[in-house]
Structure 1
Amino acid sequence: MHRRTLAGIVTVLTLVATGCGTAAPADDADADPGSGKDHGAVEGAQEVAEPQLHLTTIDGTGTVAQLDLLEGNSAEVGRVSEPSAVDSDGRYLFATTADGVEIVDSGMWTWDHGDHFHYYRSEPTLLGTVAGKGAATVATGPLSTAGATGVFFAGSGEAVLLDNEALADGEVGELFRVEGEPHEGLVAPVGDGALVTVAQGGAVTGLRHHDADGDAVGEQIPCARASGTITTKVGVVVGCADGAVLATESDGELEVERIDYPEGTTEPRAMRFEGRKNRPTVAALSGRTGIWLLDTREQSWSHLDAGVRLRQVVAADDEDGHVLALDTTGRVRVFAAENGKQLAVTEPLTDATAPGVDLVVDQERAYLNVPAEEVVHEIDYADQARIARTLETPTAPVFFTETGR
């Protein structure tokens, strides 16, 4: 999830293998983000055999709608206030509005159980608003029915940790709300608490671990000019001026490791991470043409140069190591993570200057919105970036994401 769509957080927990039915195998099973509690089920939801993939869209006036990618059906969900940005974890959409953050539940989700998945569907709905002032930075977890979601309001400096179990039950519940100095910060959920940025004079100097009650625990974690956070298969990543912090929780204890940039590098730092949900490798822009890849399993960075100006990069982290990029001309480019070779490029597909334009990547396809034409392109990135389908959405996809992931 990230700005426009979601970035997030993961806690590495022990696999609970009992009590599960058969389900599709995961493509990476070395860690399990799930607690095993009900395997993602909630009252009134239907467990199904395959992921319930939808496109959930929000137009410029706040009208929310969904398109079923399997059946082709579409429906209007409701209306939020006029959004300025939207983030997502693959189920919920977090729309930044003048009132704070308004939350949409798509009703479609996947529970990652490490070596297999559980898939669910229920009725989409509007959940309510997290009140706040100024631009909101949202950080999500790997599971929509457990764990937490972090929201930081730059205008007030308030750090809010939302209860995902409450969201799954149709309520907006805050685990904590901590006041701080106004700045561009973040709340990165980890374990039962979160890492929260600390600022002095508006500049971020580090991170503090807060428990589920909002109390600060331990010493400040060095992370100058912290920016960008995401879920990976390994742990919680927060970008710092000199690299990244990787945080996990084991037996209730927070563990923090540093992943420094390669010695001697002069490449611009990573500011925002994007990748396929719950994968170990993520991507970030580096200046105008560069791409940083962070492998959290190997705790290493690699740098690619696309040779063209880019707007967004996303690591698919599939078997072939595809890295996708949206350039400033509206073309989608596909690169090999191993050597940076360009494997494919499309014709210009969208106005890359539009604020809500986003490239969303799943295991097999990528999706790119074209708000002016009220369509979303479905791209087979492993097949020469072929346009598999051009999907008409029920409302203009000024903001969108793929839900059911």
Structure 2
Amino acid sequence: MRTDSATRAAAAFAAAGLLAAGCTAQSGEPEAAEESVPHGYVEGAEETAEAQWRLVMADPGGGLHMLDPATEEVAPAGEAPGAEHAATDGRFAYIGGDAGTAVFDSGTWTVDHGDHVHYYKAEARTVGEVGGGAGAWAAGDTAVTVLGGGDRLRALDRAALEDGKVEEKAAPAGEAALAYAGHLVTADRSGDVAVLDRDGEPAGAGVGEDCPDPRGQAVTRRGAVLGCSDGALLLTEGDGEDPGIAAEKIPYPDGAGAGPARGLYHRPGAPVLAGPADGGVWVLDVGAAEWTLLDTGPALAASAAGEDMPVLVLGEDGALRSYDPATGEQTAETELIGDPGGDGPPPAVAIDTARAYVNDPEGKAVHEIDYNDDLRTARTFELDFAPALMVETGW
């Protein structure tokens, strides 16, 4: 393994400060009224001062592996025979194919209370399996995780997953879905958008907009987004007088010369999204409700780091490039993967608050990239297997 160690002490210090400042009892409360259970306590988990990132990978034979970038240790994580796709809701990894999807608890996750954040780690374990091919993508919150990609959507009970069981709460119709604002929002291929409760039953009025041929979904701090063939559907929570879900269509610019994005990828929570398309990479600034087309050439994968931060694009030539999402200007480039082709799934670009990770199946490696330092390769984790699939958990 080649390493170029980079300290994360500043991030740890900041996170510790948030924990100390955000989780103390409010002033003026009597000591007798303090909770006997510490704020943020989760049974069976250890609270930490910083995010606990993990990389869950699958080799071509279906073996699962988990890499801890902090310790550089790789551990076996179970089996997923016939794995063709991988997804995560931040804690659980869903890896599988048409025959079924293995559910793996990485044991790391984040709870965001808005004004402060809790980071946790627990024992990693295999949870079970979901049938029917669902699991090509995941969209979840603290109550449910919706899986899609097979013949139907599947909403899994998050509390049951945390207890080590796979329990289905609902199986709504649709091609895409979001767990948002206490509801499930689904879109079918014809474009009809439905607002459902957690059990998959109709809940309140619709959103008044359509989303034809849905492709991709994301939840950001500025609202939730469904990708559509004609643009994006931005969903936001209503105010006190109108507590429903409001919808705004963000169409692609006229005459852009590119097809729709094939998916939406971003640093978890960040309100800038990127999606490869025929003709380049689309970038959606959710806050500005505006699309920008990056002239990147054919792209294998892309993801956005956030507002005023770079968009990373892995080209078919194996080079990783960064772009300014506002201007579309290329800002850095590094030759990363020697032979990114092959019959397997394309590599992934996973971005967290400090680093990006790109799996290199042909090179049997994962590259850790400092995207704020001209795409410097901070470390290369050399493996004894080909990481054909990869997701990052801990968010």
TM range (shorter): 0.7 to 0.9
Comparing 85-94 and 263-272, the one that deviates more: 263-272
Alpha-carbon distance change, 402 to 179 in structure 1, aligned in 2, over 3 angstroms: closer
Tell me which amino acid in the other structure corresponds to 1:340.
Answer: G
Cα distance in 2 for residues equivalent to 1:370 and 1:359: 10
Matches within 5 A, 1:2-401: 21-22=19-20, 42-132=42-132, 134=133, 136-141=135-140, 143=141, 146-154=142-150, 156=151, 158-178=152-172, 185-199=175-189, 204-217=190-203, 218-219=205-206, 221-250=209-238, 253-288=244-279, 290-306=280-296, 308-319=297-308, 321-353=309-341, 354-393=344-383, 395-401=385-391
Question: 1:102/1:376 Cα in 2 relative to 1: closer, same or farther (>3 Å)?
Answer: same
Q: Does the Cα contact within 8 Å between 2:292 and 2:328 map onto a contact in 1?
A: no
Residue 368 of structure 1 and its aligned partner are, at CA, apart by: 1.0
Q: CA deviation at 1:39?
A: 7.4
SS of 1:57 mapped into structure 2: strand
CA pair 39-95 structure 1, distance change in 2 beyond 3 A: farther
Q: Output the CA distance in 2 between the equivalents of 1:89 and 1:334.
A: 25
C-alpha distance in 2 between matches for 1:118 and 1:179: 34
Separation in 2, partners of 1:305, 1:396:
31
**CA–CA separation in structure 1 for the residues paired with 2:40 and 2:131:** 27
What displacement does 1:23 show? 7.2
**Inter-partner Cα distance in structure 2 for 1:101 and 1:221:** 32
> CA 1:351–1:104 in structure 2 vs 1: closer, same or farther (change >3 Å)?
farther
The equivalent residue for 1:4 is none
**Structure 1 regions of 5+ residues with no counterpart?**
1-19, 26-36
Q: Are the equivalent residues in 2 in contact too, given 1:310–1:326 (CA < 8 A)?
A: yes
CA contact (8 A) 1:54 1:66 kept: yes
Superposition deviation, residue 262 in structure 1: 2.9
Q: Mark the CA change 1:102 to 1:40 in structure 2 (over 3 Å): closer, same or farther.
A: farther
Letter in 2 for 1:151: L
What's the RMSD between the two structures over aligned residues? 2.6
CA distance in 1, matches of 2:223, 2:393: 22
C-alpha deviation, 1:395, in angstroms? 4.0
Q: Is the 8 A contact 2:134 2:147 kept in 1?
A: no
- Partner amino acid, structure 2, of 1:96: G
Conservation of the 8 A alpha-carbon contact between 1:67 and 1:394 = no
**Alpha-carbon distance between aligned partners in 1 of 2:22 and 2:74, rounded to the nearest angstrom:** 26
Shift of 1:336: 1.2
Counterpart in the other structure of 2:32: none
What amino acid sits opposite 1:178 in the alignment? P
User: 1:6 corresponds to which residue?
Assistant: none
Confirm or deny: 8 A CA contact 1:75 1:394 kept in the other structure: no
